Structure 1
Amino acid sequence: MHGNNEPVNLYCTLILILIVILMCFVTFYQEKQTLQVISDLKAVLPTSCIVIRDCKKQQVPEEELVTGDLVVISAGAIIPADMRILQSNGLKIETSAITGDKDAYDYTHEAVTTYPSVFEARNVAFKGSFCLEGDGIGIVVRTGKYTVI
């Protein structure tokens, strides 16, 4: 009885191997397309921000930010570096890039001492967060590869 099922088992095995190989190629192709879309989106997104240097507002590329720069935050802007909020006016920031939480929180310039973690403090904004409402000013504390993300 075992001899009669061997060709059937061989065909089933070959079909399963072909399906697995095909799925690998499809997954690879989809990942490649996703990376291309992300790359295209990054090229479209603005990589500059408004900073206050020498008492003047000026447009500066994100790569030129340094610790101590004062960055103007406005609705619709992506936070360009890790920063401490110095001034806020109805500032709501969404932090899903860092925490995975899609809720927007009110951010303030006031000192916060009751939170156990800097990630829960509402006076520190991290690179990649998104400002949904309001405006404010923050001082850069970390840039480039030294940011949380």
Structure 2
Amino acid sequence: METIGKPPESHTGPLLSDVLECRWHAVTVEEAFDKLDASTNGLDEGEAAARRAIYGDNSLPVGRRPGLAIVYLRQFKSPLIYLLLAAAAVSLAIGELTDAIFIFVVLQVNAIIGATQEWKAASSAAALDTLVQKLAVVWRNGVRRQIDAVELVPGDLVELGAGALAPADIRLVSDRDLQVDESLLTGESLPVEKDALQSLPADTPLGDRRTLLHAGTVALAGRGRGLVARTGLHTEIGRIAQALAAAEQPPPPLLERLDRFATRVGYAMVGVIVLLGAVQLMRGFDLVQVFFVAVALAVAAIPEGMPVAITVALAIGTRRMAR
């Protein structure tokens, strides 16, 4: 088989910095073979293993899934829940056992519903990962074979057909009517027609790089062959994953409003206790009696059923969106 560029030798390929800095969409096919020390026979197994030791696995880190106990305890992290816990404690202290048990049951129901929904959502996300293509068709030692996509390294020669996910960022070397869905990266719903031989400037926008296949994009039609240019966290989708992991996620607006509401209820409770206590003391009531009455009124003002109602409403909304 004819070899383009340099055949693989007993070395570890291009430097990682060169791989990351190269504008792969702007280099020619011959330059891509040369820069990646690749050939049309593919890498040999020894070279591939050496490169994998340098570049790492072609995978994205998976966040550790919290245990069910942690998910359950997270349901109590809310100012409104804190108020209800305080109300239950006060009710128990003043001998209102029925109220304390009722509040406790409400909190348990809310926590169980919330934890169940969160656990199901996490399970669904984990299940989606099993649908991602894990295998890649690659040329190694001049033989076309299928390997685990995690083993791919820069310089591997891979093939893709209709319906396949790009397992890495790939510089196309040939294609036949290849059309790709890049909505994952660009948001564009229309398929993009690829052209391995097109000449592109270095500053070509991401959505117009027709000589590249990006990891996670889907081949809708046609076939293509290309050289793996970047893998794992060094791909475009890997960079996005790193940026999202580093960014602090703000709480949803609904939760922010609920927290503000709970804070206001707390202030109102304190105000009621102080005002009612002052009035009752001025009228000559006993201090202990005044305290119990004020606390009872404050506890009664807390909407015990609100957390459950909100959790159930969110669960129903989530289920409808999923359908």
Query: Which TM-score band (shorter chain)?
Result: 0.7 to 0.9
Aligned equivalent of 1:146: 234
Answer yes or no: is 1:55 the counterpart of 2:139.
no
Which of 138, 153, 171 is residue 84 of structure 1 equivalent to? 171
Which runs of 5 or more residues in structure 2 are unaligned?
Answer: 1-79, 85-106, 238-323
Give the Cα–Cα distance (whole angstroms) in 2 for the partners of residues 61 and 126 of structure 1.
18
C-alpha contact 1:48 1:59 (8 A) present in aligned 2: yes
Which of 155, 158, 165 is residue 71 of structure 1 equivalent to? 158
Give the secondary structure class of the aligned counterpart of 2:144: strand
Aligned equivalent of 2:211: 123
Give the secondary structure class of the aligned counterpart of 1:40: helix
Aligned residue identity for 1:63: V
Cα gap change, 1:26 to 1:91, in 2 (>3 Å): farther
Post-superposition, which runs of at least 4 consecutive aligned residues in structure 1 deviate over 6 A?
A: 21-28
Answer yes or no: is 1:36 the counterpart of 2:123.
yes
> Deviation at 1:113?
2.0
For residues 87-140 of structure 1, give each alpha carbon's deviation from its aligned partner in whole angstroms, at most 9, with x where no partner exists: 100100001111121211110111332563244211111000000000010110
Between 99-108 and 111-120, the greater mean CA deviation after superposition: 111-120
Which structure is higher in helix share?
Answer: 2
Give the Cα–Cα distance (whole angstroms) in 2 for the partners of residues 73 and 119 of structure 1.
20
Aligned residue identity for 1:91: L
In the alignment of these two chains, the number of paired residues is 132
What RMSD, in angstroms, separates the aligned Cα atoms of the two structures?
Answer: 2.5
- Larger of the two Rg values belongs to structure: 2
Identity of aligned residues (%): 29
C-alpha contact 1:112 1:121 (8 A) present in aligned 2: no
Which of 200, 204, 207 is residue 113 of structure 1 equivalent to? 200
- Give the alignment's TM-score, normalised by structure 1: 0.76
